[in-house]
A and B are shown apart, each in its own frame.
Chain A
């Protein structure tokens, strides 16, 4: 590392340049591969990739006040869903939080929509008596959101909503919820159930709606029917980043493709990003093995290869650009791990295991740590949360 005196102030050696490059976002890194020949295959350089992964994982603004919330669902007990706040990464000290009214512990299927935003959570319960609440647990302030859609619904029509996004509109300083609403007739005019279903769908088209906390009302979004992209699964995996809500979706009219759907809360516009077929041209339409996560400040897809039980994680370089997905991590084989249920403060990913317990996967060491916490498959969530003493309304 000896540099001659005159050159020191002008010359950065390659390894120093690479340590700077390892801290760049994907878009810039990709562009700077054109700087010189030896940088073109940077993604195949294990030394560089280790630096890049380390930098990605440690690059966050989480401080000691940022905690983890666990929503634990145990359907075989009376108290179906419980919420715990953890103060340390070891899950030793936990504080049980009471759900805000009208949500009750024996409600089936309580879910946190997305993550904590400025210390505010959005909770929902699906079903016949659906509930939707925006809540700041630190000051025990909550606001119940009326589930009634913006359009007129005749009394014999049932409403089924699928919540796709909870986020903060930075332009209007307002919390928003985005959902997809379908309508079904509840009367049986026909003996054949299938005819009933077709008939009911003809009555009222599904709509997309956005709720504004400030105006306390739902508003129908004007969308081209062809461009409706909803999640194919019941409970939507959603991430929020910088004023945009993201989820994975497909359209009835575009059945061959799966997309990352990004909804900008400020200008109320949808953007689509194609998802590359991660393994062998398989497209996971049922979203059985593909999950959406937020890895620090990056949108990430995690795909489980069932055969090898390895997990492949790709990061998105730019919204709307299919070529900008970059596969950065392959961890495993971990045959015991099931679905991811959340991301921690150090880029560690939490999983529900096949034996209905929770585990944490460290991406840098490629190891799994058991947490000794029980969970029903699919049902638990771990969410990053930092308490905020400001009122929701501010």
Chain B
């Protein structure tokens, strides 16, 4: 296993290639925060373009932007709020899945919380669609369940 990458100076950059063939540069210290990338660097060396089959050119720049801020210690609540402000729920989901694939823990935790915040006032049907989950209740089972926990449905707009 090539070991040079672990002690590289912060000016060293790594090339990442997305699933749709685009190449982006990232600083080695930022790459370290994404454990999947670091593992690939350890296996393949840091001079080779690292292939990321499951991450695409739409989301990788945003992830790189996050970790650029992270290595300079500039991540604040304001930055994080701004980071997700213009993203819709599906865009955040894509980023979340990419962060999971890249094993980028800090971003993953932040995005999970952000998705939870977005889902907090949503309906059961919305959550099913969002997670791609099938409703496996019978209508009678479901209405009984809803009745039992009626208080948690109060004030929530249901979309039938």
Residues of A within 8 A of B (CB): 3, 5, 8-12, 16-17, 19-21, 23-25, 27-28, 30-37, 40, 59, 317-318, 321, 323-324
B84 CB-CB contact with A under 8 Å: no
A40 touching B145 by the CB < 8 A rule? Answer: yes
Which listed residue, B97, B128, B153, touches A8 by the CB 8 Å rule? B97
Q: What is the CB-to-nearest-CB distance from B42 to chain A, in angstroms, rounded to a whole number?
A: 19
B120 CB-CB contact with A under 8 Å: yes
B119 touching A20 by the CB < 8 A rule? Answer: yes
Give 1 or 0 for each of B89-122: 1 = CB within 8 Å of chain A CB.
Answer: 0000110110011000000000011011001110
A-B contact pairs, 6 of them (CB 8 A): A12-B132, A28-B120, A31-B149, A59-B113, A318-B151, A324-B151
A27 touching B54 by the CB < 8 A rule? Answer: no
Which stretch, B6-14, B25-33, B67-75, B134-142, touches the partner chain A?
B134-142
Give every chain B residue within 8 A of A323 (Cβ-Cβ).
Answer: 149, 151
CB closest residue in chain B, given A321: B151
A32 touching B127 by the CB < 8 A rule? Answer: yes
B152 touching A30 by the CB < 8 A rule? Answer: yes
Most chain B Cβ neighbours within 10 Å, of A17, A30, A31: A31
Given A19-B112, A31-B152, list of 11 further CB < 8 A pairs? A3-B97, A9-B93, A9-B97, A16-B100, A20-B112, A20-B119, A21-B116, A24-B119, A24-B120, A31-B124, A35-B131
Give every chain A residue within 8 A of B127 (Cβ-Cβ).
Answer: 32, 35
The CA-CA distance from A8 to B97 in the complex, in Å, is: 7
B19 CB-CB contact with A under 8 Å: yes
The CA-CA distance from A37 to B56 in the complex, in Å, is: 34
A24 touching B53 by the CB < 8 A rule? Answer: no
Knowing A5-B54, A19-B112, A36-B135, the reply to whether A30 touches B149 (Cβ < 8 A) is yes
Q: What is the CB-to-nearest-CB distance from B97 to chain A, in angstroms, rounded to a whole number?
A: 6
CB closest residue in chain A, given B100: A16
Residues of B within 8 A of A (CB): 19, 53-54, 56, 93-94, 96-97, 100-101, 112-113, 115-116, 119-121, 124, 127-128, 130-137, 142, 145-146, 149, 151-154, 156
The CA-CA distance from A12 to B119 in the complex, in Å, is: 14
A17 touching B152 by the CB < 8 A rule? Answer: no
Interface of chain B: mostly helix, strand, loop or mixed: helix
B101 touching A23 by the CB < 8 A rule? Answer: no
Most chain B Cβ neighbours within 10 Å, of A8, A19, A324: A8
B137 touching A28 by the CB < 8 A rule? Answer: no
A35 touching B124 by the CB < 8 A rule? Answer: yes
B134 touching A34 by the CB < 8 A rule? Answer: no
Q: What is the CB-to-nearest-CB distance from A26 to chain B, in angstroms, rounded to a whole number?
A: 8
Give every chain A residue within 8 A of B142 (Cβ-Cβ).
Answer: 34
B116 touching A37 by the CB < 8 A rule? Answer: no
A17 touching B54 by the CB < 8 A rule? Answer: no
B152 touching A37 by the CB < 8 A rule? Answer: no
Give every chain A residue within 8 A of B53 (Cβ-Cβ).
Answer: 5
CB closest residue in chain B, given A61: B77
The CA-CA distance from A10 to B115 in the complex, in Å, is: 15
The CA-CA distance from A53 to B95 in the complex, in Å, is: 25
Q: What is the CB-to-nearest-CB distance from A66 to chain B, in angstroms, rounded to a whole number?
A: 14
